[in-house]
């Protein structure tokens, strides 16, 4: 809870920084603030049960704290990485404030107890991102990305609101626990028809937010058009928050009507796996490829939800996946950001990186191996936990599909590795990278390996 | 502890080699691999005196809540394959001394890390750990083939990688399925091999069949067995010689070893139901690959196909699931590993001395270098399983075991002996005997490192052929314990 206050306070401070001309200390201040938020967040770990605030609108229980931790850690690395992008920009304070507000929304999404908080969280997180996506004002692609994101995102918000309204109509409450009680108090299938419509609308809205197929059409364009650092933010922090929200919404709120949404979700996952992996394999632009890859990872995370088992293993699996994916992506995007500074975002930009900057190439290899799910990186265990969760359900065909498409996934991740080590570079000119960014890349790569070697300490977090 | 050391030593040495610049790398790598061989001999002695010796196994928690342990240990069959690995890796490193590779530190470092993973596969006693080592072995060999391979390597190595990864993921699913059934009786789930065995036995025949095929696909791709072999010839030909040696000499045995230790005892019912189909595929692969080998023009490709034929026989022997079949397979794995490394080195020597591997463009080498001709002949005879060479015992036991399963299958598989002699002897005749194809061709004396490797291989061929007892005893004992696990 304190973490949420600190981050929103930081956002306001960042806006004030413009007035007081303290731009120089802005980054250290933000980093310290996030660190503080992280610590404050985990301080609540031991007495986290049953702390509800604002009339039971929001509660930072263990699940919320753990996911907030992932988000804050990712954000910390993200700020260091994005720093030199903002240095070239005059509006650094605005940007920092926007990102911090998006973070606030993300933190709310991990902890909502009430449909209104859910909606507020989604909007607080999304609106700054619309602006950030379009933040390269003179770039056509960036403007297109922002506009597209805004239109599509508004659609999703509309679905979300409509769904909430219908559910309110059927159950008479916005409160998750009350909705749950109402469902379990009614005989199966005896809720009013529009209740089920509401659940489906909510599912669609959330699938929009995590860009699962067939609601993914905005993702490739937005990922490609936005500045790389913003893309990194979207594919890590936003994803984690959205999944924390889905977990809460469907496993707690709508766990009682799972026959309805699991069927739809299974279709969504199957489509996402196939479309994302085959489309990614055909891309020539790295950022577009990563956009499709994020869709495929979304499908994997949705599989954990689909298993619909309310257990510590489920929580552990989703948390671990978010962490592994976020950390791996930050490392990957940081390298992409450095390599594509000249504007070329195709795979050719990576040619000969093994010679031009061996450090970046090695870290990119680790990131790609992790995203592809090769042992002993974090990405492998992430997939492993999904498999163990899924194999007990009767959606075994989905597992087979996941395995088949993962093999396709290796193709496009390895395309990057092959380009780096195997293709001759057009120039021998070394790729420069800043010390601070190097540190981020080094630390995130190291975490990727460490998480793979000792996955226990994340998974066992919920073993109480 | 000792077994843990066997895994750690190559890993540490491999990482050190990465840091060394220039030719120091290969000297260090050779030294480390010889040290590893000596260490494995110590383990062998220890095992001979007392198989249950404490220091031979290591078991500590890795991820407690999931029942995953870092558990390694030595058993008869595993020990033989560890010995094979540690025996071959120094030879493989030595065989590279005549070739200058770019970035030798990375090349030798990767070989040693590969060795670490291979030893891990052969000693793992925990299903999860086995899978991790299995996958880890893939990464160094992928980079070895990709960075130092021949033409069109990106596409070919990639096919190899996807093929094997694809198989491994299915194996992972199969193992997870077993793991989910280990909690019988309300205990915690566990990846320990004994618990997986029990879980396998508790399944009915249909469940076992599903597990059998999921896991078998992974092993069949690695070996490879028809029709999953299409990655193999291209990869063998394109990979650098040392990569090919690792692939065919050792990595292929991961598949056959996996079937013996990780498949047969888990799914006995499925084996009864589906073993015939799997044997049929293996036997068909033998004849098919032998026929293709006969018409090959490239000597390296010929060996690649001969390897498919050999491994087909090994797989058929294992799947016939009787004492002779499995024991023969183990013995033949050792023999084939040694011989194929020798043969691939010969192919490499041919290229270095004459610039070509094409059988028709070679000839009359015997007159130019008699020593080479003799060494070549010995290895070749081992490969066609002449009595008193290392190939004979294994092949004899394999055919015997297969005959007990089905006389027809054995008859078909027996063709491999005849066809093998055909393509091997014909290629020898064409390459070594007869007249020089043109007068310009020269074939000087062998380099010392090549000579050492060939002589060691020949010594192994003969020594193991004449006096197989120590290794054969281990194989027999290991097979007996597997048979017990299968309740036969």
Measure in Å the smallest separation between the Cα of B393 and chain A Cα atoms: 38
User: Could you list the residue range(s) of the whole structural domain that residue A385 is in?
Assistant: 2-462
pLDDT at A103 over 90: yes
Nearest CA-CA distance, residue B83 and chain A, Å: 26
- Between CA A311 and CA A320 the distance in angstroms is 14
Contact state of A403 with B146 under an 8 Å Cβ cutoff: no
**Residues in A touching B66 (Cβ below 8 Å):** 388, 456, 459
* pLDDT over 70, % of chain A: 96
- Look at residue A463 in the predicted model and tell me its pLDDT: 59
Residue A89's pLDDT is what? Answer: 61
The structure tokens listed for A44 are 């609540």
A158 HSE (CA, 13 A, CB side) = 6
Under DSSP, the state recorded for A285 is: B
Measured between CB atoms, does B231 come within 8 Å of chain A?
A: no
Sign of the CA dihedral running A312, A455, B179, A267? positive
Kindly state the tokens that stand for B425: 């002897």
Q: What is the pLDDT of residue A255?
A: 83
For the record, the structure tokens of B298 come out as 């490239």
Distance CA B186, CA B181 (A): 11
| Spatial distance between the Cα atoms of B150 and B143, rounded to a whole number of angstroms | 13
Q: Which residues contact B176 (CB under 8 A, 6 or more apart)?
A: A384, A387, A388, A391
Contact indicator for A245, A112 with CB cutoff of 8 Å = yes
Mean pLDDT of the residues in chain A: 86
Task: Answer for the pair A268, A302: CB distance below 8 angstroms, yes or no.
Answer: yes
Residue A211 half-sphere exposure toward CB, CA atoms < 13 A:
26
Give chain B positions within 8 Å (CB) of A449.
Answer: none
Cβ pair A236, A125 in contact under 8 A: no
For residues A282-291, one letter each, b for 16 or more C-beta atoms within 10 angstroms of the residue's C-beta and e for the rest, the string is ebebbbbbbb
Helices (H), A49-192: 62-87, 92-111, 115-133, 140-171, 176-185
What span, in angstroms and rounded, lies between the C-alpha atoms of B190 and B181?
Answer: 9
CA B308 from centroid of its chain's CA atoms? 12
What's the pLDDT score for residue A49? Answer: 60
The backbone torsions φ and ψ at residue A351, rounded to the nearest 5 degrees and listed phi first, read -55, 130
d(CA B483, CA B271): 13
Report the C-alpha gap between B329 and B352 in whole angstroms. Answer: 34
Give the orientation angle of helix A26-43 with respect to helix A2-20, to 10 degrees.
Answer: 170
E strand or H helix at A53: strand A52-53
Closest CA to A336 of A294, A375, A378: A294
Beta partners for residue B60, in sequence order: B70
Min Cα distance A307 → chain B (Å) is 15
Q: A59 φ, ψ to 5°?
A: -150, 125
Mean pLDDT per 10-residue section of chain B, whose length is 488 residues: 86 86 83 91 86 78 80 87 91 86 84 92 90 88 84 81 85 87 74 86 87 90 86 85 88 90 88 88 89 88 89 90 89 90 89 82 79 88 86 87 88 85 87 76 80 89 87 86 78
**What pLDDT does A74 receive?**
93
**Would you state the structure tokens that stand for residue A377, as one six-digit string?**
């990186």
The token pair that represents A206 in the structure block = 């959330």
- Residues A320-339 pLDDT 10s: 899 999 999 999 999 998 88
Separation CA B198–CA B178 (nearest Å): 9
State the DSSP H helix or E strand holding residue B348, giving kind and residue range, or none if neither.
Answer: helix B323-354
Q: Is the pLDDT of residue A144 over 80?
A: yes
Hey, is the C-beta of B175 within 8 angstroms of any chain A C-beta?
no
The number of domains in chain A is 1
Q: Do B173 and A403 touch (CB under 8 A)?
A: yes
Which residues, in sequence order, are CB contacts of A111 under 8 Å at separation 6+? A1, A4, A58, A59, A60, A61, A64, A68, A117
Helix (H) or strand (E) holding A58: strand A58-59
The pairs formed by A258-261 with CB atoms below 8 angstroms and a separation of 24 or more are: A258/A308, A259/A188, A260/A196, A260/A199, A260/A200, A261/A199, A261/A200, A261/A203
Spans of all domains in chain B: 1-246, 267-488
Closest approach of chain A CAs to the CA of B36, in angstroms? Answer: 24
Provide, as residue numbers in chain B, all residues whose Cβ is less than 8 Å from the Cβ of A315: none
Phi, psi for residue B288 in degrees, rounded to 5: -60, -50
Q: Give strand ranges (E) for B354-464.
A: none
Picking from A374, A399, A418, the nearest residue to B139 by CB comes out as A374
Do the Cβ atoms of B180 and A375 come within 8 Å? no
Interchain contact, B146 vs A422, CB within 8 Å? yes
How does strand A58-59 pair with strand A52-53?
antiparallel
pLDDT at residue B184, as a whole number:
64
User: What's the pLDDT score for residue A390?
Assistant: 83
> In this structure, is the dihedral angle defined by the CA atoms of residues B266, B267, B272 and B275, taken in order, positive or negative?
negative
C-alpha closest to that of A228 among A409, A437, A448: A437
Q: How many CB atoms lie within 10 A of CB B351?
A: 16
SS3 A1: coil
Confidence of residue A206 (pLDDT cuts 50, 70, 90): very high
| ipTM surpasses 0.90 | no
Chain B closest CA to A358's CA: distance in Å?
13
Inter-chain residue contact B63 with A456, CB threshold 8 Å: yes
Q: Given its phi and psi angles, is residue B463 left (phi above 0), alpha (psi -120 to 50 degrees) or beta?
A: alpha
Among all chains, which residue has been given the structure tokens 């632009």? Answer: A285
Residues of chain B neighbouring A418 (CB-CB closer than 8 A): 146, 154, 158
Cβ-based burial of A377 (10 A; exposed 0-12, middle 13-18, buried ≥19):
buried
pLDDT over 80 (residue A102): yes
**Test mutation, A317, A359, A378, A414, chain B, max B CBs within 10 A:** A414
Taking one residue from A and the other from B, the number of pairs with CB-CB distance under 8 angstroms is 70
Q: B304, B233 in Cβ contact below 8 A?
A: yes
Which residue does chain B place closest to A317, by CA atoms?
A: B66
Q: Look at residue A32 and give its three-state secondary structure.
A: helix
Q: Which of B154, B177, B180 has its CB closest to that of A418? A: B154
C-alpha span between B23 and B364 (Å, rounded)? 35
Cα–Cα distance between B160 and B227 in angstroms, integer?
Answer: 14
Mind listing the pLDDT tens digit for each residue in A401-423?
A: 888 888 888 888 888 888 887 77
Q: Do B63 and A454 touch (CB under 8 A)?
A: yes
The end-to-end CA distance of chain B, in Å, is 33
B193: three-class secondary structure by DSSP: helix
Beta-strand pair B58-63/A58-59? unpaired
C-beta neighbour count of A312 within 10 angstroms: 16
- Residue of A212, A436, A237 lying closest to A325 (CA atoms): A237
- Mean pLDDT, rounded, for A430-446: 86
Cβ A83 vs Cβ A436: under 8 Å: yes
CB contacts under 8 A, B 109-138 vs A, are 131-132, 135-136, 138
Q: How confident is the model at residue A127 (pLDDT cuts 50, 70, 90)?
A: very high
Beta bridge partners of B63: B68
User: Hey, are the CB atoms on B132 and A374 less than 8 Å from each other?
Assistant: no
SS3 content of chain A, % helix, strand, coil (to 5): 80, 0, 20
Q: A169: how many CB neighbours lie within 10 A of its CB? A: 12
Residue pair B347/B300 in contact (Cβ under 8 Å)? The answer is yes
**Cα B407 from Cα B395, distance rounded (Å):** 15
- Angle among Cα A347, A350, A355 to the nearest 5 degrees reads 155
* The pLDDT of residue A67 is above 70: yes
- The CB density around residue B476, as the number of other CB atoms within 10 Å, is 18
Find, among B427, B208, B130, B406, the residue nearest to B302 by Cα: B427
Conformational region of residue B321, where left means phi above 0, alpha means psi within -120 to 50, and beta covers everything else = left
Please determine, for residue A163, whether its predicted confidence score (pLDDT) is greater than 90.
Answer: yes
């Amino acid at each position: 809870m304190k973490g949420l206050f600190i981050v929103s306070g930081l956002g306001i401070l960042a806006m004030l920084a413009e007035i007081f001309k303290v731009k120089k200390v802005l980054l250290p201040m933000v980093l310290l603030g996030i660190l503080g938020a992280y610590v404050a967040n985990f301080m609540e770990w031991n007495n986290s049960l049953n702390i509800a605030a604002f009339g039971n609108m929001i509660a930072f229980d263990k699940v919320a704290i753990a996911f907030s931790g992932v988000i804050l850690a990712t954000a910390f690395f993200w700020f260091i990485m994005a720093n030199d992008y903002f240095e070239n920009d005059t509006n650094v304070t605005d940007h920092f404030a926007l990102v911090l507000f998006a973070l606030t929304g993300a933190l709310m999404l991990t902890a909502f107890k009430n449909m209104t908080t859910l909606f507020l969280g989604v909007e607080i997180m999304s609106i700054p991102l619309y602006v950030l996506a379009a933040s390269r004002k003179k770039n056509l692609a960036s403007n297109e990305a922002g506009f597209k994101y805004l239109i599509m995102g508004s659609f999703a918000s509309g679905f979300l609101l409509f769904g909430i309204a219908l559910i309110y109509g059927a159950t008479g409450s916005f409160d998750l626990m009350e909705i749950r009680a109402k469902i379990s108090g009614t005989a199966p299938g005896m809720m009013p028809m529009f209740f089920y419509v509401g659940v489906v609308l909510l599912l669609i809205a959330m699938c929009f937010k995590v860009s699962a197929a067939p609601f993914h059409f905005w993702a490739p364009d937005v990922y490609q058009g936005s500045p790389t650092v913003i893309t990194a933010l979207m594919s890590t922090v936003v994803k984690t928050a959205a999944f924390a929200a889905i977990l809460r919404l469907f496993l707690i709120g709508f766990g009682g009507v799972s026959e309805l949404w699991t069927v739809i979700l299974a279709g969504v996952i199957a489509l996402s796996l196939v479309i994302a992996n085959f489309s990614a394999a055909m891309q020539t632009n790295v950022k577009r490829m990563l956009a499709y890859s994020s869709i495929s990872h979304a499908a994997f995370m949705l599989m954990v939800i689909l298993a619909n088992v309310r257990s510590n293993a489920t929580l552990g699996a989703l948390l671990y996946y978010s962490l592994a994916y976020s950390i791996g992506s930050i490392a990957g995007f940081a390298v992409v950001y450095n390599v594509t500074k000249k504007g070329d975002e195709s795979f050719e930009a990576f040619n000969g990186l093994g010679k031009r900057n061996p450090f970046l190439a090695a870290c990119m290899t680790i990131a790609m191996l992790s995203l592809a799910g090769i042992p002993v990186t974090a990405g492998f265990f992430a997939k492993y936990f999904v498999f163990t969760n899924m194999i007990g359900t009767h959606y075994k065909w989905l597992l087979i599909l996941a395995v088949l498409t993962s093999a396709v996934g290796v193709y496009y991740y390895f395309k990057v590795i092959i380009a780096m080590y195997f293709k001759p570079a057009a120039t021998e000119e070394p790729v420069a990278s800043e010390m601070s960014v190097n540190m981020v890349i080094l630390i995130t790569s190291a975490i990727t390996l460490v998480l793979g070697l000792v996955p226990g300490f994340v998974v066992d977090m919920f073993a109480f | 502890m000792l077994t843990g050391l066997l895994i750690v030593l190559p890993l540490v040495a491999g990482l050190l080699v990465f840091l060394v610049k220039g030719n120091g790398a290969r000297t260090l790598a050779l030294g480390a691999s010889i040290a590893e061989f000596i260490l494995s001999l110590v383990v062998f002695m220890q095992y001979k005196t007392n198989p249950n010796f404490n220091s031979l196994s290591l078991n500590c928690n890795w991820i407690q809540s999931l029942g995953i342990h870092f558990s390694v240990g030595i058993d008869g069959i595993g020990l033989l394959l560890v010995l094979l690995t540690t025996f071959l890796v120094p030879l493989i490193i030595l065989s590279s001394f005549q070739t200058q590779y770019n970035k030798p530190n990375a090349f030798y470092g990767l070989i040693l890390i590969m060795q670490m993973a291979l030893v891990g596969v052969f000693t793992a006693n925990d299903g999860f750990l086995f899978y991790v080592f299995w996958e880890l072995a893939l990464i160094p060999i992928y980079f070895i083939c990709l960075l130092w391979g021949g033409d069109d390597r990106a596409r070919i190595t990639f096919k190899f990688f996807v093929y094997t990864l694809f198989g491994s993921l299915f194996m992972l699913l199969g193992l997870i399925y077993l793991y989910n059934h280990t909690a019988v009786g309300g205990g915690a789930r566990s990846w320990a091999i004994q618990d997986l065995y029990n879980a396998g036995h508790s399944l009915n025949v249909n469940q076992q069949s599903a597990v059998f095929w999921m896991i078998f696909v992974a092993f069949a791709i690695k070996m490879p067995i028809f029709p999953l072999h299409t990655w193999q010839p291209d990869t063998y030909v394109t990979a650098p010689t040392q990569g090919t040696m690792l692939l065919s000499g050792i990595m292929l045995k991961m598949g056959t070893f996996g079937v013996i230790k990780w498949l047969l005892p888990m799914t006995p019912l499925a084996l009864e139901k589906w073993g015939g189909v799997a044997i049929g595929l293996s036997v068909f692969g033998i004849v098919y690959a032998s026929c293709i080998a006969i018409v090959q023009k490239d000597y390296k490709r010929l060996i690649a196909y001969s390897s498919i034929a050999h491994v087909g026989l090994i797989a058929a022997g294992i799947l016939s699931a009787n004492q002779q079949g499995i024991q023969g397979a183990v013995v033949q794995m050792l023999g084939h590993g040694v011989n194929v490394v020798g043969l691939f080195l010969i192919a490499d020597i041919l290229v270095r001395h004459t610039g070509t591997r094409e059988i028709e463009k070679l000839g009359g080498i015997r007159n130019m270098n008699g020593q080479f001709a003799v060494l070549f002949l010995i290895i070749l005879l081992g490969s066609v399983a002449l009595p008193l060479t290392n190939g004979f015992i294994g092949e004899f036991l394999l055919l015997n075991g297969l005959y007990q399963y089905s006389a027809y299958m054995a008859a078909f598989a027996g063709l491999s002996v005849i066809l093998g002699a055909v393509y091997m002897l014909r290629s020898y005749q064409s390459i070594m005997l007869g007249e020089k194809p043109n007068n310009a061709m020269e074939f000087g004396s062998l380099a010392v490192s090549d000579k050492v490797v060939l002589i060691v291989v020949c010594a192994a061929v003969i020594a193991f052929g004449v006096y197989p007892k120590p290794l054969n005893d281990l194989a027999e004992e290991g097979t007996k314990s597997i048979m017990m696990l299968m309740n036969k």
